[in-house]
Chains A and B, each alone.
Chain A
Amino acid sequence: AQTVTQSQPEMSVQEAETVTLSCTYDTSESDYYLFWYKQPPSRQMILVIRQEAYKQQNATENRFSVNFQKAAKSFSLKISDSQLGDAAMYFCALRVGYTGTASKLTFGTGTRLQVTL
């Protein structure tokens, strides 16, 4: 069974500053994907960033980057130059297996990010 743990229920960051959201996971599988999803007040889930477990290089998407520590099973999200539009609930998710319909997402409990002026 897979588990995803987000230990920060809420975080706050000032506009233009940097914030890091934590995520740890557990799986016995060697092939998996890790994701960060953003859920703004509209409730629409939006993919922020994806990391393949076999890749050592940390994924980056503009102001968003991850720190993937495979041995420690840690997958943190760093948001640089925070903007008001970044305010949302952020979910860390794990999917075991690269292909196949049996693979499904396991979500963490989420971190609510507030962005202040």
Chain B
Amino acid sequence: GAVVSQHPSRVICKSGTSVKIECRSLDFQATTMFWYRQFPKQSLMLMATSNEGSKATYEQGVEKDKFLINHASLTLSTLTVTSAHPEDSSFYICSARTGRLYNEQFFGPGTRLTVL
């Protein structure tokens, strides 16, 4: 149990276009979802935290208008990278937290975004 999926796993787009990444908790309801960005050989950097039905809370330095996060249901959150540029190329990882004991947090497999 406690599986988090991401779609797509890999996406290549042209500069200036928008890309949407989906994150789903497949067998549990996620009270909170998190979006991370990971550059090669670096750690995970938290971009934003979202609760179902609420606006996302963005970390300092993360552009809200560029990285749109929607948490429409307890099992789905989306990250839209608007007007993508080559510097947005990165590995994006979502994570979902249950409301159960320990508030366990489970990670998706990640999405590799390449902006040409």
State the A residues within 8 Å of B (CB): 33, 37, 42-47, 50, 91, 95, 98-99, 101, 103-105, 107-110
Contact = CB atoms under 8 A, between A and B. Distances in A.
Contact of B43 (A43, A44, A98, A107): A107
A43 B49 CA distance: 21
A45 B93 contact: yes
Given A99-B103, A101-B49, A104-B34, A42 B109 contact: yes
Contacts of A95: 105
6 A-B pairs with the lowest CB-CB distances in the bound complex, closest first:
A45-B107, A101-B32, A107-B43, A43-B110, A44-B109, A109-B43
B66 to A, nearest CB: 21
Classify chain B: how many residues form its interface, as a range: 20 to 34
Residue in B31, B38, B43, B97 whose Cβ sees the most chain A Cβ within 10 Å: B43
Contact of A107 (B32, B44, B104, B109): B44
Determine the main DSSP class of A at the interface with B.
loop
A45 B4 CA distance: 11
Given A101-B32, A103-B103, A91 B43 contact: yes
Given A101-B31, A103-B103, A44 B46 contact: no
